[in-house]
Amino acid sequence: MNKLSIFLFGFILLFLAACSSNSEGTSGNSSEDGSTEDEDTVETGEVETNVEATGDEDVVLDFWIHQTGEDETNAYIERIDAFNEEHEDIFVEAEVIIDDGASAYSDSINAALVAGNLPDVMAIDGPYVSSFADAGVIRPIDEYIDEETKNQYVDSIIQQGTYQDKLYSLGAMEASVMLYYNKDIFEEEGIEAAESLDEAWTWDELMENAKTLTTEDRYGLNLFMNEGVGEWLTFMGAPFTWSNGGSLVSENGMEVDGHLNSPETIESLNYVKSLFEEGVVSESPSQTQFEEGDAAMALGGPWISVSAEEAELNWGMMPYPYKDEKVSPSGSMAYAITENTEHPEEATELMKWMTNEESAITVSEATGMPPAQKSAFDSMEKYDELPYSIMKEQVLETAHARPSTPAYPVVTDAYAQAFHAAALGEDVEAVIDQQINRVEREMKRFKE
């Protein structure tokens, strides 16, 4: 784009922004007029930020962010504003796209990909980095980032953003799954909780205590099976398999035979199956089973801290139970720059800004997710003591990224199908055998 067209483009955007501010009031801009009732709502689509383009900027970056919650999006917009203010020569034009947890956000990316108009920087889900990288949709950023900056991130985020030894993506937040528990019920039943990673429960302890905690009108454990057959099952469930020495795919992400169907993998899913067979977990819990006290424990994400707090539950956190190795789920939304961009250096600058310590803290405070910057943990006091110290320990020590393979969409579905079959008491091995063919066919595509 030459200067003139950038200028025209900027002018049009300004014009559009002016129009929308007249008709709709604030959108994602809460400081202007505190009295409007929709001050907290963030509309999807182009976002009106506090800092406006002057039209003199050398570089305009298109930036797509996902929206799962208003507070989260407002945190991003706050950081984008700060970026625009700080950088005279770069202007970030952000667009918010709804992410319903299913396919709404990826449909937008797919459509833009085929039409050839991807933005300069976009948010993508961690495990999808490999497939985008393999297809040449996103580009490596190694040349724009030094070792020192790289080391500031927690290992699992760098692991998640790396494909074939090249770094593609950076994230502001991590995620994890902890064993939440209801303190009142534990006291009643006389069960002692694990208070650090060293005291983490083994599979046997989990089973035994879950049985004790299960009564006629209460389940011992909640695995949020109400989320359906999807990414949750892989995210929450795969540590059972890893802890038992199993795997989903090979190291290089190209083989599935001997991994997804290995005896260790099948054994781990059979353990999951036994939890359901003993009746300590429900295969169709209500959304708020744990918060309502209808389940004594729950393997849930950081968002459970938020909802349990809101429900005024007396709750605590324990590390993810283990068999041989202590591992915990990891991975979250991250940013990557596309091959489309004409300004990779500035785009990387934006990514680093959106994931630096200050951004990580802002986002973490808005979402309750753990930050992806090691130093952020030091400046956030809540992570120094229970229950959040458990989350910190897991992110720093046991976080295990999901497999890095371009066939991830099929791999994760295959694993989720097997996990779900285990929950229904079906023959896990038979289901995995069916899935193997499908995954192998998909992997062939990437071997050529």
Q: If we measure between CA atoms, which residue out of 217, 200, 249 comes closest to residue 397?
A: 200
Dmax (CA) for the chain in angstroms is 73
- If the CB atoms of residues 91 and 232 are measured against another protein, the closer one turns out to be 232
Q: Is 69 in the site for another protein (CB under 8 A)?
A: no
Residue type (1 letter), 205: E
Q: How far is 389 from 255, CA to CA, in rounded Å?
A: 37
Question: Using the rule CB under 8 A, is 137 a contact of another protein?
Answer: yes
Q: Site residues for another protein, window 215-244 (CB under 8 A)?
A: 228-230
Binding map of another protein across residues 187-216, x = CB under 8 A, - = no contact: ------------------------------
The CA distances from residue 59 to 54, 56, 91, 94, 324, in Å, are 12, 9, 6, 14, 52
Tokens encoding 398? 């046991």
Q: How many alpha carbons lie under 13 Å from residue 65 in its C-beta half-sphere?
A: 29
Rounded to a whole number of angstroms, the minimum distance from the CB of residue 182 to another protein is 18
Among 19, 135, 311, 386, binds another protein (CB under 8 A): 135
Place of tokens 């991975």: 331
410: contact with another protein by CB under 8 A: yes
Kindly tell me which of 400 and 420 has the beta carbon lying closer to another protein.
420
Contact 150, 144 (CB under 8 A): no
Size of the site for another protein (CB under 8 A): 36
Torsion of CA 433, 438, 439, 441, to 10 degrees: 130
Residue 114 in contact with another protein, rule: CB under 8 A: yes
x-or-dash string of contact with another protein, 425-444, rule CB under 8 A: -x----x--x--xx--xx--
Least Å distance between CB 290 and another protein? 14
By C-beta, is 316 or 403 nearer to another protein? 403
Least CB distance to another protein at residue 210 (A): 17
* Residue 284 near another protein by CB under 8 A: yes
Rule CB under 8 A: is residue 136 a binding residue for another protein? Answer: yes
Which residues of the chain form contacts with another protein (CB under 8 A)? 103, 106-107, 110, 113-114, 116, 131-132, 134-137, 228-230, 282-286, 409-410, 413, 417, 420-421, 424, 426, 431, 434, 437-438, 441-442, 445
